[in-house]
Amino acid sequence: MPQKLRAAVIGLGMGRHHAREYAEHRRVELVALADPDADRLAEIGNLHKVPRLYADARKMLRDEDLDLVSVATPNAYHAPLSIAALQAGCHVLCEKPMAMNARQARRMAETARSAGRRLMINFSYRFDPQSRALKREVDRGVLGDVYFGRTVWLRRQGVPERESFFLQSHSGGGPLIDLGVHRLDLALWLMGHPKPRWVMAGTYDHLARAWARKKGYRYEVEDLAVALIRFDNGATLEVESSWMSHIQEQELMHTRLLGTRGGLVHRNVDGRYVFEGHIYTERRGKPVDIRPQPPARKTSAMQHFVSCILNGTPHTATGEEGLVVMQVLDALYRSAAEKRPVRIR
């Protein structure tokens, strides 16, 4: 294994965060960036003194000798560029959602296996310190058997002001695949990844349709999705996500699990991107509230992935786990469109 991993980033919207993490990592050399936006490419390239900049990501993959690539493009390009990077011999960290659908996600996972490369999906809420503290306690058995959960990301008014988010061919969906995917993955991870069996979902666009008409946008996706997922162990999970909804909070993120020995909640505080985690259980027949201590050392998806590659240890948020999330999302959108329960096989 090299002393330093040679890394590149494709897509410098969300990818600017990947670029910063790699540029600051002592065991990574950020050698190239790719983005069709010349101004953005120059800005991030100059900021981190990256030697080679590309408008064409595929040319970068052909020309550069890379160990690691982050794919942080719009959703429609996640699968083709991740597959190209894997075939070029790179480990890949792909932004969420993994792909536009489960078929693409399966091909990504299969390509990673056949190429002998790692594929990780940036489910970043797994790396929130409160999430990690809760996971530690869950793995110790404090909840017992989880039988119910509710996971939510709702906005009062928070539609992304870029039309590509509203076009089905670019995004694959609305707030469910944009926001809900984070809270869905967080709940599945904390639940220990039970196998989903069937779903029932509804999607709505009442508020965003009127909003888009006033703005002059073409709007093709939902503004609210609600769902119920049933697992093979009998547990159920409710999912809610919205870009626009008549709620009190501007931004509401909330994941609650109930188990036979205890329950937990992970939520944002006062509408901000600041989180708290709590566990509710009993000791000697009396209610006890616990606030787990977050790990002393903070980490990120990028830092975790680099460390696992260099140390030869397993990484979290694997391609296989991302595929399950995509299978659930596909089933939810199909259930909403067909107005019936859908079985996941």
Give yes or no: residues 92 and 166 share one domain.
no
Q: What is the CATH number of the domain that holds 69?
A: 3.40.50.720
Residue 160 shares a structural domain with residue 261: yes
Render pLDDT for 149-204 as a digit per residue (tens, 0 to 9): 999 999 999 999 888 899 999 999 999 999 999 999 999 999 999 999 999 999 99
CATH number at residue 280: 3.30.360.10
pLDDT by position in tens, the chain (length 345): 568 999 999 999 999 999 999 999 999 999 999 999 999 999 999 999 999 999 999 999 999 999 999 999 999 999 999 999 999 999 999 999 999 999 999 999 999 999 999 999 999 999 999 999 999 999 999 999 999 999 999 999 999 988 889 999 999 999 999 999 999 999 999 999 999 999 999 999 999 999 999 999 999 999 999 999 999 999 999 999 999 999 999 999 999 999 999 999 999 999 999 999 999 999 999 999 999 999 999 999 999 999 999 999 999 999 999 999 999 999 999 999 999 999 998
Token pair for 327: 């299978």
- Tell me the C-alpha distance between 48 and 41, whole Å: 11
Q: Which domain holds residue 116?
A: 5-122+301-314
Whether 335 maps to a domain, the answer reads: no
Give the separation between CA 183 and CA 237, rounded to whole angstroms: 11
80 and 145 in a single domain? The answer is: no
* Contact of 69 with 7, CB cutoff 8 Å: yes
d(CA 41, CA 105): 28
Reported as a single tens digit per residue, the pLDDT across 248-284 is 999 999 999 999 999 999 999 999 999 999 999 999 9
- Packing angle, helices 181-191 and 319-338, rounded to 10: 120
Q: Could you tell me where the beta strands, DSSP code E, fall in 35-141?
A: 52-54, 68-71, 91-95, 119-122
> What's the total number of domains in the chain?
2
Q: Which residues of 238-271 are buried (b: 16+ CB within 10 A; e: fewer)?
A: ebbbbbbbeeeeebbbbbbbbbeebbbbbebeee
| Helix, strand, coil tally for the chain in percent (to 5) | 40, 30, 30
| Residue 206 placed within a domain | yes
* CB proximity list for 310: less than 8 A, separation 6 or greater: 1, 5, 27
Asked whether residue 210 falls in the same domain as residue 281, the answer is yes
Is 325 part of any domain? no
Q: Does one domain contain both 132 and 164?
A: yes
The answer on 72 and 154 residing in a single domain is no
